[in-house]
Amino acid sequence: MRWQLLDGGELELWTDFIVESEQAELFAALAGVVPWQQREIQMFGRSTLEPRETAWIGDPKAVYTYSGRINEPAPWPHVLQTLRERVSERAGAAFNSVLCNLYRNGSDSMGLHSDAERELGENPVIASLSLGATRRFQLRHRKRREAKLDIDLPSGSLLVMRGATQHHYRHGVPKQPSVRAPRINLTFRRIITRDDA
């Protein structure tokens, strides 16, 4: 599926990027090797715990700053390195990092935000791979209330955001109290380093 959004945003979704027979084993492997943490972030001038567990993985120079925190990358586990190659090929983009998110149940969430940090460049390609429980993905235009989209992302799906999406839209994963099972979400991206300059 493909969406051409207002103001130059683009979305592309493959619901079966990871076939069902691979999903449980891959979920277990990621749950075991990723160095998950629930860390403090800055929101509205206050420190608070992230409403999910995360880990920043990447090439040695792929340092990423968001929510008032500098993220030094942990090295790539083999399973994530393999996934990076598969996702890069499908998305047609070279990624040097991934933000790993563990939503333990429907009470964990991610507020509306844009991946618009300077180190991501002008029009970043963000590839989001989901495993585990189906969760809702929300997309909202910054200025035009009617320009919005809600998509349920099933296990094995890959969603790619391109073009001017991060300039004009915010995205997030709302709380869903009825969801009891965990979900792992991997958002692959390219951090611009000094070597790229």
pLDDT score, position 116: 83
In the chain, what are the domains? 2-196 (2.60.120.590)
pLDDT score, position 64: 86
Angle 92-81-3 from CA coordinates, rounded to 5°: 30
36 beta partners: none
Half-sphere exposure at residue 66, Cβ-oriented, CA atoms within 13 angstroms: 17
Beta strands in the chain (DSSP E): 2-4, 9-14, 40-43, 46-49, 53-58, 64-66, 69-71, 97-103, 110-113, 126-132, 135-141, 148-153, 158-163, 169-173, 183-189
pTM value surpassing 0.85: yes
Mean pLDDT, the chain, whole residue set: 92
Q: How many residues does the chain have?
A: 197
Q: Which of helix, strand or coil describes residue 84?
A: helix
Least confident residue range of 18-32, 117-131, 176-190: 117-131
| Residue 167 structure tokens | 């300039």
Higher per-residue pLDDT: 193 or 176? 176
pLDDT at 108 over 90: yes
pLDDT at 147 over 70: yes
pLDDT at 51 over 90: no
Q: Which of helix, strand or coil describes residue 31?
A: helix
CA distance 135 to 133: 6
pLDDT at 197 over 60: no
DSSP 9: E
pLDDT at 92 over 70: yes
